Structure 1
Amino acid sequence: MLAKDRVSSSIATSDFISRDLSWMKFNYRVLDQVKKPSRKIFEKLKFLAITSSNLDEFFMIRVGSLYNYIDYGKERVDYSGLREKPFRKKLLQEAQQFFQEQNRYYTENLVPQFEQNHFSIVKDLARLSDKQRKQLEEYFNLTIYPMLTPMTYDSYHAFPTLMNKLLVFGVVTREPDTKKDNKKLSFVQIPQNLPRFYEFDDDDYVTFVPIEEVVRTYIHRLFRNITIQSVNLFRITRNGDFTLDESDDLESSFVEEVRRKLKTRKTGRVVRIETESGYSSWMMRQLINRWNIDKDNLFEVEPGGLLDFTSLWQIVKHHDFRNRVPKTPAPVPPVTYPEMGNEDIFEVLKHRDILLHHPYNDIEPLLDLIEKSAEDPNVLAIKLTIYRLASESRITAALLKAAENGKHVSVLFELKARFDEENNMREAQRLHKAGCFVIYGVSSIKTHTKLLLIVRKDGKQVTRYVHMSSGNYNEQTAKLYTDLGLLSTNEVYAHDVSEFFNVITGHSSPTDYQYLITAPRDMREQLISLIRQEAENAKKELPSGIAIKINSLEDREIISELYSASQMGVPIQLIVRGICCIRPGRPGLSENITVRSIVGDFLEHSRIYYFHNNDEPKVYSGSADVMVRSFDRRLESLFLAADPTVKKQAMNIISYNLRDNMNTYLMQEDGSYQLIKRGKSAPFDIHKEFFRVTLDELESVKLF
């Protein structure tokens, strides 16, 4: 059997699907949004930029993590059964195929649509008018040229540190009028603070000129009296996966350790080179040898393509096209709070729980609660966990105001929130200087839970207001991500959340929670217990069923329990947006398991766990996915939907997800996905239908 056939056989026979190969399938589903005929060109460019950003992060973290094993000789066996080096080859081959599909669709299908949509990307400056070329030359002379620094690599010059994800020219030169081979390699890095495109805005038409083409045209001015043999554009991706040395519990040491590790992202080992075609083979040999990679790590853009599709955001967000990107409908009031904004939120929450379903419901009630708490003289304390914040966050502003007004403010900033570390450190220091009690994470565990506790004096009584969520305290992503957040004054929630904050901010280990399931304490065990109860009910021929909506499903123990429950006859409906390592529909293993993935206008981010429980459903929501890291290396929480209406709302969300026939992919036994074909059925698009949910609909909702 050939090595390639052995790899395919191993992947196909495993009961578990590779996490990383599953992620590649997810990015293909995002790429499908680029290909959707109903989408306008600017939507397509947006989704193409997202696929490119996704792929960058994938190489920095997942491929970077794999190289941490390879480089240090550590053993790793993928769920597919492959060891480190064979899996590296398979993974890079899959990434190559995706990269080529991206670029092929861009050049063959998108670029021809530019002209009719009143813009173009002009790479050949000869196509510009004399006036435009003169303007570009002035821009180069006055703005770009002073910023450029040619960096030569030879026996007298050390190899320069080239920045992660920036465009770089590799320039091969030699002395003129000499016969000996005296080639030299220099690098010209395009500054990151320049816009990717220079714009000519002429009436109703915009010409975008890539900044690299301006530099290429005048790059000879950096190499005077020298023969330039080749000018090669490329972009590198570095390993961004790092672990922290947290042996020292001192806060200041931890913050400095985070800062130090962040710098390694700028110098981490190279895991990918993207390059334009026609590059100098001599130059590429130097780079490949220097960075200890091979041709599998080399991703080549064909003529007419574009390096780094994330730059397309500049076009999507251009002011001339603002009205040509479909607008999201205005948020609607929560079904249990139709009078939103007309009543005092403090009083409303004394009488009912409010489940916010973003982005269909505005985040405003939550922001209103926090901002009023900052000003209300009766509010005594505010406690909050922060994983990712919006830029110019209203929440940070409210917490600063609260501290200024003398309230006790406790904030846990997770400094290990990937790619938000620097922003979180900066915001945490602002709050610390204002007098807030700031915690920088909890030892080696990442705090991913989303919890808010407000303590307010009501005469002689004290009322505790809680918010528990699947999403971040971020008013920007609340418009783009689907998330659930529960506002309540229920004393059981308040007690549990108070106890959990004592774990986070102090040294406490509560004996029990009534409405919360927490990690790393016992979340995996509790979920396993709930799954086994469904299997036991099925065995007794009692009603059973499991429906779970999450972002990622990877934990082997939970997957094994779901397999066992399926074999006992439990119907299992899984809605998993991204990574999914379970193999549905395999005879004798998982015939009763169905997996859907929904990819569309909004990023599916909410988590809901439903257990039929012999017609007495238990429903949870919260911050945790079914991942090893969620159960073992993170502070996570799931909250029970105790209020009957809230429970019905959560069940209705799952019901709608199962009815969607516009954005839904069915996962096949081999790990591939097929878009559901609507046929003659009426369209049901959850990203539209959730704007129309009524209280009456909840009464009849039933799963299984």
Structure 2
Amino acid sequence: MAETVFFNRDLSWLGFNERVLLEAAKDTVPILERIKFLSIYSSNLDEFYRVRMPVLMAVDEHRQNADGQGNYELAKAEINRQQRKFGAIVAEQILPELANHDIHWIYNKFIPNQITDQVVNLFFNEVLAYIYSICIDKDLTDFFAENNKLYQLVILKDALGEERLELINVPTDSLQRLYSLQDDGHTYVVFLEDIIKYNLSYLFPNDTIQGVYNLKITRDAELKIDNTTEEDITTVLERQLETRDFGFATRFLIEPGIPLRSLYRLIYALKLGNASVVEGGGYHNLKDLNSFPLNGASFSYPKWPSIHSVPIPGNETLFSLILKEDVLVNVPYQSYDPILRFFNEAANDVFVDEIYTTLYRVANNSRIVSALMTAARNGKKVVALVELKARFDEANNIKWAKQMKAAGVKIIYSSVDLKVHAKVALAKRVISEKEEFLGLLATGNLNESTAKFYTDQILLTSHKPMLKELQSIFGFLSKSKKAPGSEDQIDFKHLLVAQFNLQQKFLNLIQREIDNAKAGLVNGITIKLNNLEEKILISKLYEASKAGVKVQLIVRGICCLVPGKAGLSDNITVTRIVDRYLEHGRIFIFENNGNKEIFMGSADWMNRNIYSRIEVCFPLYDTKLKDIIMKIVNLQLQDNAQESIYKFLKDINTI
């Protein structure tokens, strides 16, 4: 019997990020989009160093693989390999392609004479006001190298031959990172740090510059909240957010060529002894390539205008339509307007007396939150579960929670140990003492900004039995104690809810396909996820494969399941989609002897989702909507999936 095996989760995630990087190498992708994929790769890697590398560093000395090499070292080696590939893609593909369009990106090159006067003027007119220097050997008493900020190490010799080190800030938080300069019809793109470097002799007129090297420090981003604290969680989080960028250093990213004696002096002075020293390219923080100054329609993807897919006659409302039939919105292909309208109608419908919702990542200028505050001012009972521990969105969520509370919205928070990751909303209407429910259940955040580039599914329904279960979930979440006990058992017949029935229900659904395979009945499993890690569910999929069940997986990121292994996973395939949109929806399809059952929802199959979050998955009952989801998923299992999906949804909207 084949041994049950699992991929390493961190190496799997790094494999996903390499898949992002490979999009930058495709000559079929427009050049500006290729540069943006370089930006996404860099941003992802920064987050990995802030979130995962501290974990790997902590356990490395206790747990090693069979070769005696810890996971931290394995990850570091893989990152170094990818960084070399990154540099090769830029040098061998991106720069020549830009040059073909007479756009000259000054990347690891001297600034050409044609633009030196412009570079000097930029330095004195715009840059110099934000520059400061720190002498490494003298001025470090109160200096702290900030997280993910760029610096330049300048090695100088004075008139007596004495060497000293100066640290120069690169003020990307105040100025743009890349400048587009024109000369005689030619375009040159120059980094801010190269503008500074070219003018350093002005800052040090009495010294000889021996070398200039770009640096960046990445720090641990973990927030540590004591679950026994009696303080208000917003107070605790705000205090920790103020110090997040002052965590211990996990990575010291350096430009190649720094003399070792200077590097050691710098490490000692900046207290970076425990950080991983990584030799990168000549430039860091390349997530800033997201704003690469390049205009022209031919340089970007062709526009796909959002499809308006929910036609509502002028004498009707969205609510009246939902009361007649389920509505499914597939963003970003289809317009997000129906979701905004759901909240707007709930806020102003005279029959709505209660509104409940979960908020995980809130848009910076959220019209959804504005509608909730309007509803509260209109005298409706509005309850919002705000997840304050949504990583890197904590401050924004705290801001909105305070504003909603001031407007009369009842704010509830999840517990320290149990995040609420569900994406749901509920409006209750009362007409002649009769209750009606209208619900919103989604695979992605209620966030109109991310809905422009995350692929998600949102179901709008008036299915009363399902929504009564949703009402019970909000009742549970409103309690001060968030860990479900015996008194909190809810008889879920429709919804799958983590901490209650989600894992067991999925195990049962897989088992039914196994039983059908053994009985010679129609069987099969197709699942789309962001991440797949949880070993009990993976082992059940292995069991299904060994029973002859065809298992098709679409997994964007982490995938600890090993497909195609003889005797274990022969019948399992894994597809990874990286395209212009970020695949984010979670879809679960079970053949059920020809009577397909389809679920969608917020839950990945990760340990955190299964064991330490409230997640909600929901069934799709409408036959027409099932057919749409099946068509989308089948297209996703093919090449060029996103363009095909857009054309499909556009076509059915015109029928």
Same fold (TM over 0.5): yes
Structure 2 residue aligned with 1:672: none
CA distance in 2, matches of 1:396, 1:387: 12
1:348 aligned onto 2:321: yes
Aligned partners of 1:243 and 1:534: how far apart in 2?
42
For 2:580 and 2:208, locate their aligned partners in 1 and report how far apart those are by CA, in whole Å: 51
**Alignment partner, residue 589 of structure 1:** 568
Aligned to 1:321: 296
Which residue does the alignment assign to 1:25? 15
TM-score by length of 1: 0.85
1:543-554 superposed matches below 5 A:
543-554=522-533
Name the SS of the counterpart of 2:552 in structure 1. strand
Question: Unmatched 5+ residue regions in structure 2?
Answer: 481-486
Inter-partner Cα distance in structure 2 for 1:509 and 1:13: 39
Aligned to 1:470: 443
Structure 1 range deviating more: 622-631 or 213-222:
213-222
Q: Is the 8 A contact 1:331 1:691 kept in 2?
A: no
In the TM superposition, what is the alpha-carbon distance from 1:582 to its structure 2 partner? 0.6
**C-alpha distance after superposition, 1:638-674 (max 9, x if no partner):** 111133333333333322223x1236xxxxxxxxxxx
Distance 1:429 1:206 in 2: 47
**Cα distance in 2 for residues equivalent to 1:90 and 1:360:** 39
Provide Cα deviations, 1:344-399, integer angstroms capped at 9, x if missing partner.
10110110001111122211111112122223333222211111122322212222
Equivalent residue in structure 2 for 1:299, among 262, 273, 279: 279
| Letter of the 1:40 counterpart | P
| Partner residue in 2 for 1:600 | 579
Q: Note closer, same or farther for the CA distance 1:329–1:100 as it changes in structure 2 (3 Å cut).
A: same
For the structure 1 residues 327 and 376, does the alpha-carbon distance in structure 2 shift closer, same or farther, using more than 3 Å as the test? farther
1:216 deviates by 1.4
Match of 1:425 in 2: 398
CA-to-aligned-CA distance 1:451-493 (integer Å, 9 cap, x gap): 1111223344332110000011111221211111100111012
Residue identity in the other structure for 1:536: D
Deviation at 1:24, TM superposition (A): 1.7
2:640 pairs, out of 649, 654, 662, with 662
SS of the aligned residue for 2:251 comes to strand
* Per-residue Cα deviation, 1:507-565 (whole angstroms, up to 9, x for no partner): 57242222111112332222112212222222233322211111111111111111112
Length, aligned pairs only:
644
* Match of residue 652 from structure 2: 694
Aligned to 1:702: none
Q: CA RMSD in A?
A: 2.8
Q: Secondary structure of the residue that 1:208 maps to in structure 2?
A: strand
Q: Distance in 2 between matches of 1:685 and 1:200?
A: 35
Output one character per residue of 1:62-98: Cα deviation in whole Å (capped at 9) or x when no partner: 212212334xx6x456xx7677x52211111110011
Name the counterpart of 1:308.
285
TM score, norm. by length of structure 2: 0.91
Residues 549-597 of structure 1, C-alpha deviations (whole Å, 9 max, x = no match): 1111111111111111211222211111111111111111111111111
When residues 340 and 274 of structure 1 are mapped into structure 2, their CA distance, relative to the original with a 3 A threshold, is: farther
**Alpha-carbon separation, structure 1, partners of 2:190 and 2:643:** 38
SS in 1 for 2:74: helix
Other-structure match for 2:484: none
In the aligned structure 1, how far is the partner of 2:652 from the partner of 2:192? Answer: 51
Match of 1:185 in 2: 165
Change (3 A) 1:176 1:19: same
SS at match of 1:384: strand
Over 3 Å counting, the alpha-carbon distance change for 1:186 and 1:450 in structure 2 is same
Report the Cα distance in structure 2 between the residues aligned to 1:622 and 1:533, rounded to whole angstroms: 21
| Aligned counterparts of 1:211 and 1:339: Cα–Cα separation in 2 | 51
Counterpart of 1:52 (choices 42, 47, 66) is 42
Equivalent of residue 445 in structure 1, options 418, 421, 425: 418
Q: What pairs up with 1:564-575 in 2 under 5 angstroms?
A: 564-575=543-554
Q: 1:385 to 1:201 in 2, by over 3 A?
A: farther
For 1:518-537, what aligned pairs fall within 5 Å after superposition?
518-537=497-516
Matches within 5 A, 1:280-679: 280-288=259-267, 290-293=271-274, 297-301=277-281, 306-315=283-292, 318=294, 320-321=295-296, 324-334=299-309, 337-339=310-312, 343-507=316-480, 509-658=488-637, 660-662=638-640
Contact 2:254 2:277 in 1 (8 A): no
Which residue identity lines up with residue 146 of structure 2 in the other structure? M
Contact 1:538 1:568 in 2 (8 A): yes
- For the residues of structure 2 that align with 1:690 and 1:479, how far apart are their CA atoms? 18
Give the Cα separation in 2 of the matches to 1:696 and 1:545.
Answer: 32
- Offset of residue 255 of structure 1: 1.6
- The amino acid of 1:141's aligned partner reads F
Pairing partner for 2:131 from 145, 148, 172? 148
* SS class of match (1:400): helix
Q: Is the 8 A contact 1:354 1:486 kept in 2?
A: yes
Give me the whole-angstrom Cα distance separating, in 2, the residues matched to 1:65 and 1:274: 19
1:156/1:140 Cα in 2 relative to 1: closer, same or farther (>3 Å)? closer
In structure 2, the residue matched to 1:67 is 57
Q: Residue 690 of structure 1: CA displacement?
A: 3.7
The CA distance in 1 between the partners of 2:549 and 2:144, in whole Å, is 56
> For 1:513, what is the secondary structure of its paired residue?
coil
- The reply to whether residue 169 of structure 1 matches residue 159 of structure 2 is no
Contact kept in structure 2, 1:272 and 1:299, CA below 8 Å = no
| Partner Cα distance (2:497, 2:51) in 1 | 26
AA paired with 1:325?
A: S
Alignment of 1:124-163 (within 5 A): 126-129=111-114, 133-154=116-137, 157-158=140-141, 160-163=143-146
Asked if the contact 2:227/2:416 (under 8 Å) is kept, the reply is: yes
Tell me which amino acid in the other structure corresponds to 2:284.
L
1:162–1:189: 8 Å Cα contact kept in structure 2? no
Task: Letter of the 1:420 partner, please give it.
Answer: D
Aligned to 1:103: 87
Matches of 2:136 and 2:433 in 1, distance apart?
74
Distance in structure 1 (CA, Å) of the matches to 2:550 and 2:347: 47
* Alignment-mate amino acid for residue 184 of structure 1: R
C-alpha displacement of 1:687: 4.2
CA contact (8 A) 1:19 1:580 kept: yes
Q: List gaps (5 residues or longer) in structure 1.
A: 1-11, 664-683, 698-704
Structure 2 letter corresponding to 1:539? K
Contact 1:65 1:239 (8 Å CA) reproduced? no
Secondary structure at 1:21 match in 2: helix
* Alpha-carbon contact 1:333-1:339 (below 8 Å) kept: no
**Against the structure 1 CA distance between its residues 109 and 323, is the aligned structure 2 distance closer, same or farther, given a 3 Å change threshold?**
closer
SS for the counterpart of 1:390 is coil
One-letter amino acid matched to 1:122:
I
Percent identity over paired residues:
31
| Secondary structure, aligned partner of 2:405 | helix
Q: What is the alpha-carbon distance in structure 2 between the residues aligned to residue 203 and residue 530 of structure 1?
A: 67
| Other-structure match for 1:680 | none
Q: 1:292 to 1:646 in 2, by over 3 A?
A: same
